[in-house]
Copies of this chain bind each other. A is one copy, B any other.
Amino acid sequence: MQIIRQIPEMQALSEEYRRSGKMIGLVPTMGYLHEGHLSLMRDLRDQCQLLVVSIFVNPTQFGANEDLSTYPRDFDRDEQLCRDEKVDVIFYPSGLEMYPPDYHTFIQVDQLSDVMCGRTRPGHFRGVATIVAKLFNIIDPQLAIFGQKDFQQVVIIRQMVKDLNFRVKILTAPIVREADGLAMSSRNKYLTATERKHAPKIYQSLRQAEKLCQRGILDPDEIAEKMTALLNKIPQVRIDYIALVDPETLIPVEKIQGKVLVALAVYLGSTRLIDNIIINA
């Protein structure tokens, strides 16, 4: 396994693979890898000759008051996990390598970036779209895979790929959960013991939405109200948003009908967690 920190070296390697007609697969991550990330690597491993995992805590997707400085990092552990998954390359650039001081260019995906997480985190998806475009140009993969936990991110990246005509196929993989249902996230590390104990209620609220729908309750407001009641049983909880939206346009639905994305963000203490489920009526 190679660890590459310089953009020109990564570009030269991927160009060599591309020229010989080989498949390059990319798993973009911010490191502090968990089973969710590993499942993405496993999904791609056999579909490509060069499996690249990028590890970069992207500063442009963090707001001024967010957790950029405290975001968990453990490269040695990540390196071993990548080796175990037979990753070929870790692309592990510095902040300065990706954003030199005279950096000026950003990609904005309008509308889709302004709702849900984008409302609470202005500029977040601009940073996401920008770094992903850079990674596509640096690594030039035919395949890139993203976890469905960041559902809105995937919608935005698909839109960007389509709009800017990137030659990459976007794959997704299901959310990987702890035994008690909590969606895996590097940020789970922030949780206190008490917060961790209550955290499974997040997924329970999503399952409740699914059950309500199965029982014929198709009013999104009614579902959101019942989810709110359940989430409010968590001490110190603050609900950022609960959204019942079209999974492609992210526009709120007026009635549950066909596939609907139920997505939420909640703060447990100072930790912001997201989760989602697709329900179908």
Query: Which A residues form the contact surface with B (CB < 8 A)?
Result: 7, 11, 15, 18-19, 21, 103-112, 129-130, 133-134, 137-138, 140, 159-160, 163-167
Contacts and interface: CB of A to CB of B under 8 A. Distances in A.
A255 to B, nearest CB: 22
Nearest to A126: B108
Copies of the chain in the assembly: 2
Contacts of A15: 167
Nearest to A8: B165
A251 to B, nearest CB: 12
Contact of A165 (B112, B138, B160, B167): B138
A18 B103 CA distance: 29
A105 to B, nearest CB: 4
A112 B102 CA distance: 11
Contacts of A163: 103-105, 134
A61 to B, nearest CB: 16
Nearest to A105: B163
A11 to B, nearest CB: 6
A247 to B, nearest CB: 14
A114 to B, nearest CB: 10
16 contacts: A7-B165, A11-B165, A15-B167, A104-B110, A104-B112, A105-B107, A105-B108, A105-B109, A105-B110, A105-B159, A106-B108, A107-B108, A108-B108, A134-B164, A137-B166, A138-B165
A140 B111 contact: no
B105 A111 contact: no
A26 to B, nearest CB: 14
A159 B133 CA distance: 15
Interface centre among A15, A19, A105, A160 (most CB of B within 10 A): A105
